[in-house]
């Protein structure tokens, strides 16, 4: 089969990859569509020493598995857990000590014609959700994870720093809480997508210090972290929602004095994300800036790294 292969920080379009053979308990999925994410781009830059097929945001069709799933469109949670370590036994499979992670850790990913995942990881896509929209299930679930970690109420002033792909989805999901929300970034054209939905936006330089109860940094860079940190009132909550490729310097003393709660946030549950898509509470269409066939995958990656580009999709057929 064809696939986008990463090795020694270099991408290749390979045509000689074996079609995976699903072990017991796993399902063979023919990939229809997959989205290029910032984590994929950071892996190329050496964020984690991964070798294999990239990609973890996908929609596919089950071609080998139980009858109730055959020929169904599915999306898949990316962490494949062992089921017996201390975190699995505590109901925390995303922190499984033995996990593999689709397209990230010891498991070939979605930028190929086929992939394998455990049956328990798969979720059937509702009929009224398009394949393009369903490709966003994983990042929407990640955005919703914030609300499982932090109680957000209409009384809270909330800041989201970053107008990229994840910032756009976090802004939309947090807006559903009715909180007093502001999303800031560097690109007015990107922020306009959120403004069109009635969400207050602005350039990063409008943020005033010590005015917010909750701040979410989606930038993955020191400047974004600094803006989010300075925006918090004492006893505020700072959520880190991005891939940080390098070391981050911070004023630990100030965190102590202001009694700031610092929360890392990663993967979320898929069912609520699919529900938001099925009920049209989230609009992902403006975020799609191009679709490329798998055969043009390397060109797609170049486009995904271009200034101003949000989501690039790969079409496997």
For every residue of 55-121, DSSP letters joined together read --EEEEEEEES-TTTTT-EEEE-SEE--SSSHHHHTT-GGG-TT-EETTTBSS--SSBSEEEEEGGG
What is the pLDDT, as a whole number, of residue 243?
A: 74
Averaged pLDDT, 286-313: 96
Neighbours of 196 (CB within 10 A): 11
**Do residues 2 and 295 lie in contact, with contact meaning Cβ atoms separated by under 8 Å?**
yes
- Output the CA torsion sign for 225, 228, 234, 236: negative
Indicate whether this model's pTM tops 0.75.
Answer: yes
What whole-number distance in Å separates Cα of residue 256 and Cα of residue 212? Answer: 17
Domain spans in the chain, listed from the N-terminal domain onward: 3-124+284-315, 143-264
- Please give the CATH architecture assigned to the domain spanning 3-124+284-315: Alpha-Beta Complex (3.90)
Confidence of residue 200 (pLDDT cuts 50, 70, 90): very high
Q: Which CATH class is domain 143-264?
A: alpha beta
Element (H, E) at 297: helix 297-304
DSSP state of 50: -
Q: What is the mean pLDDT of residues 189-216?
A: 96
Q: Is pLDDT above 90 for 202?
A: yes
CB 51 within 8 A of CB 103: no
């Amino acid at each position: 089969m064809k696939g986008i292969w990463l090795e020694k920080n270099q991408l290749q379009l390979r045509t000689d990859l074996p079609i995976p053979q699903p072990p017991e308990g796993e399902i063979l999925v023919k990939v229809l569509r997959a989205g290029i994410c910032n984590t994929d781009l950071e892996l190329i830059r050496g964020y984690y020493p991964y070798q294999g097929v990239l990609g973890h945001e996908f929609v596919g069709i089950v071609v080998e598995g139980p009858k109730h799933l055959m020929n169904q469109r599915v999306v898949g949670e990316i962490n494949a857990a062992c089921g017996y370590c201390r975190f699995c036994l505590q109901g925390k499979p995303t922190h499984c000590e033995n996990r593999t992670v689709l397209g990230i850790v010891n498991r070939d990913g979605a930028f190929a014609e086929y992939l394998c995942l455990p049956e328990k990881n798969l979720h059937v896509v509702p009929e009224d959700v398009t394949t393009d929209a369903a490709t966003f299930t994983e990042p929407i679930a990640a955005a919703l994870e914030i609300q499982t970690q932090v109680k957000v109420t209409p009384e809270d002033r909330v800041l989201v720093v970053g107008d990229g792909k994840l910032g756009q989805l976090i802004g939309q999901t947090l807006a559903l809480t009715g909180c007093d929300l502001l999303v800031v970034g560097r690109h007015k054209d990107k922020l306009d997508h959120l403004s069109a939905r009635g969400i207050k936006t602005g350039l990063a330089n409008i943020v005033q210090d010590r005015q917010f109860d909750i701040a979410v940094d989606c930038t993955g860079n020191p400047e974004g972290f600094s803006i989010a940190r300075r925006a918090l009132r004492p006893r505020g909550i700072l959520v880190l929602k991005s891939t940080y490729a390098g070391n981050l310097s911070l004023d630990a003393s100030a965190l102590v004095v202001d009694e700031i709660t610092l929360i890392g946030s990663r993967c979320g549950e898929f069912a609520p994300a699919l529900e938001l898509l099925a009920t049209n509470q989230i609009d992902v269409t403006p975020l799609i800036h191009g679709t490329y066939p798998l055969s043009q995958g390397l060109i797609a990656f170049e486009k995904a790294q271009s200034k101003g580009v949000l989501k690039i999709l790969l079409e496997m057929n």
